[in-house]
Structure 1
Amino acid sequence: MFGSKFKRWLAGTAALSCLMGIVPTVDAASADKLPFDDIAGSFAKESIIRLYNKQLLSGTSARTFSPKQAVTRAEFITILDRVLGITPVQSAISPFKDLSANAWYYGAVTAAVQVGLVDGTSAHTFEPSKPVTRQEAAIMLIRAFKQSGVSGDTSYYADADKIASWADAAVGAALELNLMAGDANGNFKPANGMTRQEIAAVIDRALQDDDWSAALAKKPNTARIQLGWQYGQTTAQFEQSVKQAGVNTMSPRWFFFDPAGVVASNADQSLVTWANKNNKQIWAMVGNRSNQEVTHQNLSNVTYRTKVVNQLAAYVQNYGLKGLNIDFENVAPEDRSYMTAFISELSAKVHKLGAVVSVCVSPDLGSDWTEGFDYAALGASADYIVMMAYDEHWSTSPLAGSVASMPYVNHAVDTLLDVVPASKVILALPYYNRDWTTNKNGTVTATELTLIEQNQTVKQRKLLPEWNASVQQYTVSYQLNGLKHQIWLEDGRSLAAKYKAAMDRNLAGMAYWYMGGASADIYTSLGNAERFYGLNFN
């Protein structure tokens, strides 16, 4: 999917050298010589050498490793990121107030928080310079290698009563997996800090597992559909956004219903040429301008419907399109059977041309807005159903709230999966948001924001995001002209959680409304989600 973003990154700055140094090229001629002058007596000597040769650890200087030096929380999570192939994220939304965007570890910590590898020490603090304790390290290790299902008995340890309740399961799993053990007296010493040699030993033990090493060597899935819609962009801008985001399927807004079975076209041959050159597919969007009357006319009248189907098939053939994306809104409930017939006839026609049909649907909340869509019937004819899991609180909603909370997304997807196989479902995520204003009379109004604009608001107003675990989003609020403003943020962490939901259900892919709406860090975050959630250590 996101190509080079998954290549294992190597630290090369002076800031990082305090942890791992500048990773040098291993000279075969000196392979029999220890890489550091201070590890000969270390119990972890062989582990240090192996990790050095794998370019996962280096020294605190050219010839010293400082094996007994303490490792901080930021340093340890940076090492784990490197082991897992997770790329640092320079997120516009900082997860903790004590993380400076200019700090060398900011990107590594942020990336780890976004995929659930590590938590803060409180709601607003991470304490990056604090030595990582043994029980903290156990939790991070078990999360990193996805072994939370492993159980172990910590009563083995003489100081078991000192292990925090929140760490007990992880400490037990680490013991069961032989990743971490106690001292000669049978103590685990959960609150003790870990040294560089201890960290080297633990990481090396994990990498000795052939299955785990094979999992880490496996490349991310590049076959998953990554669809990006065009909106408010020129062709050149759309191309640039698609290239930056790394999506593989483009959906330009080209075809629209007009009266009497006419399909207006805004097709651009130059985009087809660019897509072919850059190995991208085009599934051109077919819209109805949200016009219920024209939609009813073209779907219910057999002559007009056939005319529409033939025109769309001709566009597919003439432009060499790989597919069509049907995005109809405001379809009348009484047109349900006509909508099903249209998709069935269109699919049969374009399948003969080697193209696919995808249909956009909204979450079924029992309202007339979705009654025009028969999920099961559409799923039987179309190649893909795109669940647009957003607009939970729409632009004129009477209540302020999230555009796409995690419970809303889960319900939307699971309802669809009841009647459509996961191999046909694409989950669409929002690259937009809303700033909600509570007026003096208690009513709310909303201003739509791109994620770029959202980030600018947070930065300019120096807002402190607070994570809401129930919706899986950060929230912020502020006062302007005596009125309260609220935003349920969409960032790399919230979008990664939604991405995980798709991967957990083995969906066919993802879609994004819309290209140009996201800040560049989002693409790195989603690349990390694809990487980490795709790792299988079982």
Structure 2
Amino acid sequence: MTLLATLLTLGLVAGYSVPVEAAVVKQPFQDINSSYAKDAITHLVNKGIAAGTSETRFEPKKAVTRAEFATFAVRLLGLKPVKNNISPYNDTSTTAWYYGNIAAMTNLSILEGKGQGTFQPNASITREEAAALLVRMLKQSSVSTGLLSTTYNDASDISVWARPYVQKVYQLGLMRGSDGLFRPQDQVTREEAAVMLDAILQKKEWSEQLENPDSLGIQLGWQYDSTTAEFKKQVEQSEVNTLVPRWFFLNSSMQVTDHTDATLLSWASATDREVWPLLGNRSDPAMTHQMLSSSANRASVVAQVTAYVKKYKLDGINVDFENVQSADREGMTAFVTSLTASLHSLGAVVSVDVSPDLGTDWTEAFDYAKLGAVSDYMVLMGYEEHWNGDPIAGSVASLPWVENALDTMLSDVVRAKVILALPLYTRDWSSASPATDSWDITLAEQGTRARAAGSVRQWNASLGQYVIGYLSNGMPRYIWAEDSRSLTAKVRMSTDRKIAGLAYWYMGGETADVWNAISNASRFESYLF
């Protein structure tokens, strides 16, 4: 068997992606000459979307499985397989060739299971199921089903949930049926699937978008509890293009301590990444007040930071002042105003980290509108909905809470200046003593608990995340999970609002799968079909 033929076969049978470079050579399948889908099959194979079942056979009359259709769809949409650390389904092995494709489509709410935590990957996909998948792939809205009865003689056989999808694919010209019948429960054959998917590529305004390169905007990653070597490795495995090492901190002498690592600067420059080191106050309200309440102290700190930016040729500074007193509201604005003006003279930018505005003393020191006007970026820390020490257990960052926080900020700050920070951690909660017996965990630790014997998980659509329950020493504990699926929902929500980008607290807390999920969410949301 030739190398090309091997790759084409593996593309379907073993789940390997078909390299575009190899796919430019047409595959001479022996069994498609009499198929009405011959041209569509050839086109999809040459595009690396579909593949034969062997070196010389496509088996056009064979039913296509749900896993195979998911794989074709991922490739057509230009997405990446995502091997979710928490599996969406109980009957889908994480080692199966199709797992990453099914998870990718589930994360984006394009594919759904068959109920009770099952997907049935090897079951044949029905025509009405295919209709739903095509409509969701193209982000089309549901339509009235009033014309179905006059369109198809078997309209009453179409499941109620599927009727809007069937009507829509008819309008789009992607599925039409034959002899006045739609045949909703019939299996979709491989040649039928090829015709459906190729019809999408034949529409120029759709196919051109599918060829667009990814554009993720600012992807900011904070370093935390890691060496420079570890941080570089974390960044290399991610989508992050803007580094925030923890280098500069204010002390009680009104001096800014310097922990700059020149090797990270050299590496960032060589890999075309920007560096915006963090300027922190270590959550010390008294020390921060000493600086912000004095024009002389503010000027001194601005001069010190400016000197560091000039010395190290930094691209920017990330101001992270937390636990600031309400009385320092004007001082905070004055400091950021002066710092921004000074750094702009060097071509550097200023970003300011802020918590969601919940009308509490915690955020009273931050005038969002004025800070947003004078700084280059406002970084909304979209987490700590329920915090360490909270007497009530709950999500660190549920989708509705993050959405409300972002929309509140956007009422004061222009979209082009807003960066949404997402959590790469969550919290393991005690059911008996949430405030005193709960702690932060990484996403890897979360996955270990989710897979432990006896643990249960349930997707909560209203929160946009799994809720995991397990027993520890006989006592119930709970986790509101952050994973590829929950982060996808947040990225899609924020991308829809056309903000400047995303940030992540903290690098190293994630599992590897989240980066493909984030990339997919951004890419899929960019499509305007």
Cα deviation, residue 445, structure 1: 2.8
Change (3 A) 1:477 1:300: same
- The CA distance in 2 between the partners of 1:14 and 1:50, in whole Å, is 18
* Residue 372 (1) aligns with residue 368 (2): no
Cα deviation, residue 43, structure 1: 1.8
Tell me the equivalent position of 1:5.
none
- The CA distance in 2 between the partners of 1:18 and 1:417, in whole Å, is 46
Q: Aligned ranges for residues 407-418 of structure 1 at < 5 Å? A: 407-418=400-411
Q: Aligned ranges for residues 255-404 of structure 1 at < 5 Å? A: 255-404=248-397
- The CA distance in 2 between the partners of 1:237 and 1:27, in whole Å, is 40
* Residue 425 (1) aligns with residue 418 (2): yes
Cα deviation, residue 482, structure 1: 2.1
Cα deviation, residue 527, structure 1: 1.6
Tell me the equivalent position of 2:489.
497
* Residue 252 (1) aligns with residue 245 (2): yes
Cα deviation, residue 492, structure 1: 0.4
Tell me the equivalent position of 1:199.
193
Change (3 A) 1:331 1:188: same
Cα deviation, residue 27, structure 1: 8.1
Change (3 A) 1:255 1:18: closer
- The CA distance in 1 between the partners of 2:220 and 2:23, in whole Å, is 42
* Residue 94 (1) aligns with residue 90 (2): no
Change (3 A) 1:97 1:504: same
Cα deviation, residue 465, structure 1: 2.5
Tell me the equivalent position of 2:440.
448
- The CA distance in 1 between the partners of 2:172 and 2:408, in whole Å, is 38
Structure 2 residue ranges without an equivalent (≥5): 1-5
Larger CA deviation: 261-270 vs 11-20: 11-20
User: Contact (CA 8 Å) 2:24, 2:46: kept in 1 or not?
Assistant: no
User: Contact (CA 8 Å) 2:355, 2:381: kept in 1 or not?
Assistant: yes
* Residue 212 (1) aligns with residue 174 (2): no
User: Contact (CA 8 Å) 1:433, 1:451: kept in 2 or not?
Assistant: yes
- The CA distance in 1 between the partners of 2:111 and 2:359, in whole Å, is 39
User: Contact (CA 8 Å) 1:135, 1:167: kept in 2 or not?
Assistant: yes
Change (3 A) 1:382 1:182: same
Q: Give a deviation string over 1:41-62, Cα, whole Å, max 9, x none.
A: 2221221122222232222122
Tell me the equivalent position of 1:6.
none
Instruction: Give the aligned residue type for 2:12.
Output: L
Give the one of 93, 96, 100 matched to 1:107: 100
- The CA distance in 1 between the partners of 2:521 and 2:340, in whole Å, is 33
- The CA distance in 1 between the partners of 2:15 and 2:244, in whole Å, is 45
- The CA distance in 2 between the partners of 1:18 and 1:304, in whole Å, is 64
- The CA distance in 2 between the partners of 1:11 and 1:241, in whole Å, is 31
Tell me the equivalent position of 1:16.
12
Q: Give a deviation string over 1:55-104, Cα, whole Å, max 9, x none.
A: 32222122211111011111111110111111111221000101111211
- The CA distance in 2 between the partners of 1:504 and 1:335, in whole Å, is 34
Cα deviation, residue 459, structure 1: 2.7
- The CA distance in 2 between the partners of 1:19 and 1:343, in whole Å, is 52
Tell me the equivalent position of 1:485.
477
SS at match of 1:273: helix
Give the one of 148, 152, 156 matched to 1:157: 152
SS at match of 2:257: strand
Q: Percent identity?
A: 46
* Residue 236 (1) aligns with residue 229 (2): yes
Change (3 A) 1:473 1:18: closer
Instruction: Give the aligned residue type for 2:112.
Output: D
Instruction: Give the aligned residue type for 2:200.
Output: A
Tell me the equivalent position of 1:127.
120
Change (3 A) 1:13 1:332: farther
Larger CA deviation: 388-397 vs 66-75: 66-75
- The CA distance in 2 between the partners of 1:474 and 1:328, in whole Å, is 32
Give the one of 139, 144, 149 matched to 2:137: 144
Tell me the equivalent position of 1:39.
32
Larger CA deviation: 474-483 vs 393-402: 474-483
User: Contact (CA 8 Å) 1:95, 1:465: kept in 2 or not?
Assistant: no
Q: Give a deviation string over 1:188-220, Cα, whole Å, max 9, x none.
A: 111111001111111111111011110111111
Instruction: Give the aligned residue type for 1:198.
Output: E
- The CA distance in 2 between the partners of 1:414 and 1:22, in whole Å, is 41
Structure 1 residue ranges without an equivalent (≥5): 1-9
Instruction: Give the aligned residue type for 1:500.
Output: R
Q: Give a deviation string over 1:123-177, Cα, whole Å, max 9, x none.
A: 4111111110111101111111222266673231111122222211111110001
Q: Give a deviation string over 1:355-379, Cα, whole Å, max 9, x none.
A: 0000000011111001110000000
SS at match of 1:318: helix
User: Contact (CA 8 Å) 1:434, 1:448: kept in 2 or not?
Assistant: yes
- The CA distance in 2 between the partners of 1:462 and 1:87, in whole Å, is 32
User: Contact (CA 8 Å) 1:70, 1:193: kept in 2 or not?
Assistant: yes
Change (3 A) 1:353 1:22: closer
* Residue 405 (1) aligns with residue 401 (2): no
- The CA distance in 1 between the partners of 2:98 and 2:192, in whole Å, is 21
Tell me the equivalent position of 1:169.
164
- The CA distance in 2 between the partners of 1:27 and 1:249, in whole Å, is 36
Cα deviation, residue 401, structure 1: 0.5
Give the one of 171, 174, 198 matched to 1:179: 174
User: Contact (CA 8 Å) 1:260, 1:304: kept in 2 or not?
Assistant: no
Change (3 A) 1:350 1:14: closer
TM-score, normalised by the number of residues in structure 1: 0.93
Instruction: Give the aligned residue type for 1:177.
Output: L
Tell me the equivalent position of 1:475.
467
Tell me the equivalent position of 2:111.
118
Change (3 A) 1:55 1:22: closer
Change (3 A) 1:172 1:444: farther
Larger CA deviation: 524-533 vs 502-511: 524-533
Change (3 A) 1:285 1:442: closer
User: Contact (CA 8 Å) 2:318, 2:352: kept in 1 or not?
Assistant: yes
Instruction: Give the aligned residue type for 1:17.
Output: V
- How many residues in Structure 1 have an aligned counterpart in Structure 2? 521
Give the one of 509, 513, 519 matched to 2:505: 513
Larger CA deviation: 203-212 vs 145-154: 145-154
- The CA distance in 2 between the partners of 1:490 and 1:27, in whole Å, is 40
- The CA distance in 1 between the partners of 2:526 and 2:315, in whole Å, is 27
Cα deviation, residue 16, structure 1: 3.3
Instruction: Give the aligned residue type for 1:214.
Output: E
Change (3 A) 1:20 1:179: farther
Cα deviation, residue 26, structure 1: 6.1
Structural RMSD (CA): 2.0
User: Contact (CA 8 Å) 2:383, 2:402: kept in 1 or not?
Assistant: yes
SS at match of 1:245: coil
Larger CA deviation: 89-98 vs 460-469: 460-469
